[in-house]
Amino acid sequence: MRTALLALATSTALTGAAFADGHATDIVGTAAAAGSFTTLLAAAEAAGLVEALQADGPLTVFAPTDDAFAALPEGTVEGLLADTEALTAVLTYHVVSGAVMSGDLSDGMTAATLNGADITVSLGEGVMINDANVVAADIEATNGVIHVIDSVLLPPM
């Protein structure tokens, strides 16, 4: 368990600077510099959440990649973009108040998201948030931390 976290943290420490081109920036700037979060950033803009993600924080964002959004059933992204309330519920389900680093996680822990619903951490051969795999962790920004996940978290309805 600890080995999986250490391996994940080590692999990300090597790539973290590439996200922000070596310059300290907020969560939005860090995600934009990575180039693989265009759908997430467009959704945040459509929901009016960009300023919140640029605020002082700290915040922890479990950020689905463009590939994660593309894997959703056809029409899901378009449907969310047309329904600001649902879009906001989904996006805020990816954000936790405070800076939660991978070393802070424990198996079975839950965390309240800004959506109000909890997410659950599982540690095994890797780190999972609900059913999403964390593929890169501990990417620091000036106002928090990003953990990259391979699927979109959908809040309980």
Q: Is residue 23 part of a domain?
A: yes
Q: Is residue 107 part of a domain?
A: yes
Q: Is residue 156 part of a domain?
A: no
The per-residue pLDDT for range 16-31, each reduced to its tens digit, is 433 444 556 999 999 9
CA of 156: how far to CAs of 3, 58, 126, 130, 153, in Å? 31, 25, 23, 11, 9
The per-residue pLDDT for range 80-129, each reduced to its tens digit, is 999 999 999 999 999 999 999 999 999 999 999 999 999 999 998 899 99
What number of other Cβ atoms are within 10 A of residue 61's Cβ?
29
Report the domain count for the chain.
Answer: 1
Q: Is residue 5 over pLDDT 60?
A: no
Cis peptide before 58 (omega within 30 of 0): yes
Structure confidence at residue 23 (pLDDT): 56
Q: What average pLDDT does this structure show over 126-144? A: 94
Domain CATH number, residue 119: 2.30.180.10
Range(s) of the domain holding residue 20: 2-149
Question: What is the distance between the alpha carbons of residues 70 and 18, in angstroms, rounded to a whole number?
Answer: 23
Q: Is residue 154 part of a domain?
A: no
Question: What is the distance between the alpha carbons of residues 16 and 139, in angstroms, rounded to a whole number?
Answer: 5
